[in-house]
């Protein structure tokens, strides 16, 4: 038996898995795993697989996410094909979302604005357009779209993520009192862990360290009380809150 040959194959397998996990964590915004994956590749890959990839497999999201992360052009190409076959608003917005997912915000905004010309009061289009403008750091345009969405009769369907994005856009444009009001609402109404983190970071920037520390401590104290799937989805906010606490 060639022990060195087996070790060599094992080594390259670990390196391959490490590269896949690192690309996945970078593309999906889970950068907190990066240090672990680089320093302890085998252990890091096992932990990453159990915590992040296995839940995606169980929920049926793994293969669509795999295509989006590793073959983004094929996703965009598929939506472009659908638009050529049927130039509908739904297909255009699907293509816009695929483009925005690859940070091609200018093209995504152009498509979404075309759709808004046909349906200027459509809640879904306004929400998506507000997100695209936010990601493109065009915060004033994002605020305008979000506020039009909030004014719709079915505004109760707006997600808490969009309300939080609205608060962050207000903060980015220097509208601090209304931003704080929205942060408070998101935390009070939705008890959002992500909202608590961003509100705590907002308070820290205003040198209101005692209030910020209280929010970060609440995240830490209450985190284990949430169901497992909620803990998995919000693990990064706990890690970031602990990091912020260390600097207070």
Residue 34 has a pLDDT of 82
**Domains, the chain, with CATH or none:** 1-70 (no CATH), 71-158 (1.25.40.10), 163-248 (1.25.40)
Measured CA to CA in angstroms, residue 67 lies from 4, 24, 63, 98, 208 at distances of: 35, 11, 6, 11, 43
Distance CA 122, CA 85 (A): 23
In this structure, of 8-17, 75-84, 157-166, 216-225, the range with the lowest mean pLDDT score is 8-17
Distance CA 103, CA 53 (A): 23
Residue 1 has a pLDDT of 45
Q: At what angle are helices 193-205 and 209-222 packed, to 10 degrees?
A: 160
Residue 108 has a pLDDT of 96
Residues 157-179 have pLDDT tens digits of 788 899 999 999 999 999 999 99
Q: What is the mean pLDDT of residues 38-52?
A: 83
Residue 17 has a pLDDT of 82
Instruction: Report residue 52's pLDDT band, with 50, 70 and 90 as the boundaries.
Output: confident
6 pLDDT above the threshold of 60: no
Residue 132 has a pLDDT of 97
Residue 4 has a pLDDT of 44
Q: What is the mean pLDDT of residues 147-153?
A: 87
Average pLDDT, whole number, for the chain?
A: 86
Q: Which residue has the higher pLDDT, 116 or 32?
A: 116
Instruction: Report residue 84's pLDDT band, with 50, 70 and 90 as the boundaries.
Output: very high
Distance CA 85, CA 192 (A): 41
Is 55 within 8 Å of 44 (Cβ atoms)? no
Is 126 within 8 Å of 89 (Cβ atoms)? no
* Listed ranges 46-60, 189-203, 220-234; the one with the highest mean pLDDT: 189-203
Q: Which residue has the higher pLDDT, 56 or 182?
A: 182
Is 169 within 8 Å of 127 (Cβ atoms)? no
DSSP state of 33: G
DSSP calls for 134-193: HHTT-HHHHHHHHHHHHTSTTGGG--HHHHHHHHHHHHHTT-HHHHHHHHHHHHHHH--H
If one counts every other C-beta atom within 10 angstroms of the C-beta of residue 39, the result is: 9
Torsion over CA: 12, 13, 14, 18 (sign): positive
Distance CA 118, CA 89 (A): 8
57 pLDDT above the threshold of 70: no
DSSP state of 226: S
Angle CA(195)–CA(197)–CA(123) in degrees, nearest 5? 25
Instruction: Report residue 24's pLDDT band, with 50, 70 and 90 as the boundaries.
Output: confident
């Amino acid at each position: 038996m060639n022990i060195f040959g087996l070790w060599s194959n094992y080594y390259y397998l670990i390196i391959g898995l490490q590269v896949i996990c690192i690309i996945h964590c970078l593309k999906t915004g889970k950068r907190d795993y990066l240090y672990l994956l680089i320093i302890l590749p085998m252990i890091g890959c096992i932990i990453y697989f159990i915590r992040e990839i296995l839940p995606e497999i169980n929920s049926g999201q793994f293969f669509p996410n795999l295509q989006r992360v590793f073959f983004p052009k094929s996703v965009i190409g598929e939506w472009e094909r659908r638009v050529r076959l049927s130039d509908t608003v739904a297909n255009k917005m699907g293509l816009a979302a695929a483009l925005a997912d690859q940070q091609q915000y200018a093209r995504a905004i152009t498509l979404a604005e075309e759709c808004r010309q046909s349906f200027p009061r459509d809640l879904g289009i306004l929400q998506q357009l507000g997100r695209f403008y936010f990601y493109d750091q065009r915060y004033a345009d994002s605020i305008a779209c979000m506020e039009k969405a909030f004014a719709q009769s079915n505004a109760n369907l707006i997600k808490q993520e969009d309300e939080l994005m609205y608060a962050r856009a207000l903060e980015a444009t220097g509208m601090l009192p209304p931003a704080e009001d929205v942060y408070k609402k998101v935390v009070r109404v939705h008890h959002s862990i992500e909202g608590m983190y961003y509100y705590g970071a907002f308070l820290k920037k205003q040198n209101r360290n005692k209030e910020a520390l209280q929010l970060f401590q609440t995240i830490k104290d209450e985190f284990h009380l949430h169901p497992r799937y909620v803990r998995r989805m919000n693990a990064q906010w706990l890690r970031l809150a602990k990091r912020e606490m260390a600097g207070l």
